[in-house]
Amino acid sequence: MKIAVVVRQVPDLIEPLEITASGDGLDWDRASFLVNESDDHALEQAILLKESVGGTVAVVAMDFGDVDNTLYTAAAKGADRIVKIPLDGESPPGPQAAAAMLAQSIQGLQADLVLVGCQAHDELEGSLTPRLALALGLPYVGVIRGVQPGDVPGSVRVFKEFPGAVMEQMSVRLPALLGILAAAQPPRYVPVSRIRATMKSTRFEERKAAAPAAEPLVKVRRLYPTPTTGRAEMLDGSEEDVAKRLAAILAEKGILK
């Protein structure tokens, strides 16, 4: 099975998020980045499928947000090809342009299955993934927790997540694009030594892609930190003081019996 995976970099939410002076966008120069969590799961799911039924895994990424480390890590995990799309600007393209650019690069890979994280926390205009499926002319289903080889050749079985830990089991005829929420297993850990070794042996394939000129459909007027309502009564002091105060509150509320 030939599998293509898209990985994206997103701002690390542990670090402060800085807004541009114009107040309508993230200051990408001052952001720290890490791999989008659901894309990391998409990569893991691809490698699990490769280990199960054989084939190859190609990773496609736009050259944004210190992506090289993520790509070397992907190679160390078992990706066979790494395709990097150079970008002209210093900001990531909008969703329409991103879908078009990624589609141009993925089309040449002739993948049976394309896996992409079903969401990224910095997406304002909804998920990129269904747009990419449309640009590739592939059937799509997202919010998938686990992919298995299908009973019928040329198909996979997927589990779409719904509230209450209920899953809808579906059969998907390939080629198709799946929006992954979580892989069947957690993303594997690779030691730094293996990543370093991979850096020496891995070559990125650069593929230029053109973004179609288009007016943005959504105009951001203002981007700002969510105001805190400060509802919680904060408990201060040493760990012991706080613990005793909390235990007293729980006792007063009749929770400790």
- Write out the binding residues for another protein, residues 210-249 only, by CB under 8 A: 217-235, 239-240, 242-244, 246-249
Nearer to another protein, 88 or 252 (CB): 252
| Torsional class of 183: left (φ above 0), alpha (ψ -120 to 50), beta (otherwise) | beta
Looking at this protein, which amino acid is placed at residue 244? K
Q: At what angle do helices 67-77 and 192-201 cross, to 10 degrees?
A: 100
In this chain, which of 121, 148, 200, 209 binds another protein, going by CB under 8 A? 121
* 87 to 106: interface string for another protein, x by CB under 8 A: --------xx--x-------
- Residue 58, CA distances (Å) to 27, 106, 128 in order: 30, 9, 19
C-beta atoms surrounding 126 within 10 Å: 11
- Is there binding between residue 18 and another protein (CB under 8 A)? no
Give the C-alpha separation, 57 to 77, whole Å: 10
Nearer to another protein, 89 or 225 (CB): 225
Which of 138, 75, 70 lies closest to 110 in space, CA to CA?
138
- Is there binding between residue 133 and another protein (CB under 8 A)? yes
- Is there binding between residue 115 and another protein (CB under 8 A)? no
C-beta atoms surrounding 240 within 10 Å: 8
Nearer to another protein, 17 or 197 (CB): 17
Taking contact as CB under 8 A, which single stretch among the options 66-74, 83-91, 107-115, 180-188 is the one that binds another protein?
180-188
In this chain, which of 59, 131, 209, 211 binds another protein, going by CB under 8 A? 131
Q: What are phi and psi of 116, to 5 degrees?
A: -140, 145
Give the C-alpha separation, 81 to 58, whole Å: 4
Least distance CB 154 / another protein (angstroms): 10
Nearer to another protein, 68 or 130 (CB): 130
Nearer to another protein, 57 or 177 (CB): 177
Nearer to another protein, 124 or 200 (CB): 124
Nearer to another protein, 75 or 179 (CB): 179
* 140 to 179: interface string for another protein, x by CB under 8 A: xxxx-x-----------x-xxxxxxxxxxxxxxx--x--x
- The residues, any chain, with a CB within 8 Å of residue 219's CB and separated by 6 or more, are none
Residues in 182-201 that interact with another protein by CB under 8 A:
182, 185-186
Task: Decide: 179 and 142 in contact? Cβ < 8 Å.
Answer: yes
Nearest-Å Rg of the Cα atoms of the chain is 22
Residues in 37-66 that interact with another protein by CB under 8 A:
37, 41
Least distance CB 40 / another protein (angstroms): 10
Looking at this protein, which amino acid is placed at residue 154? G
Taking contact as CB under 8 A, which single stretch among the options 54-62, 108-116, 130-138, 197-205 is the one that binds another protein?
130-138
Which of 138, 119, 139 lies closest to 129 in space, CA to CA?
119
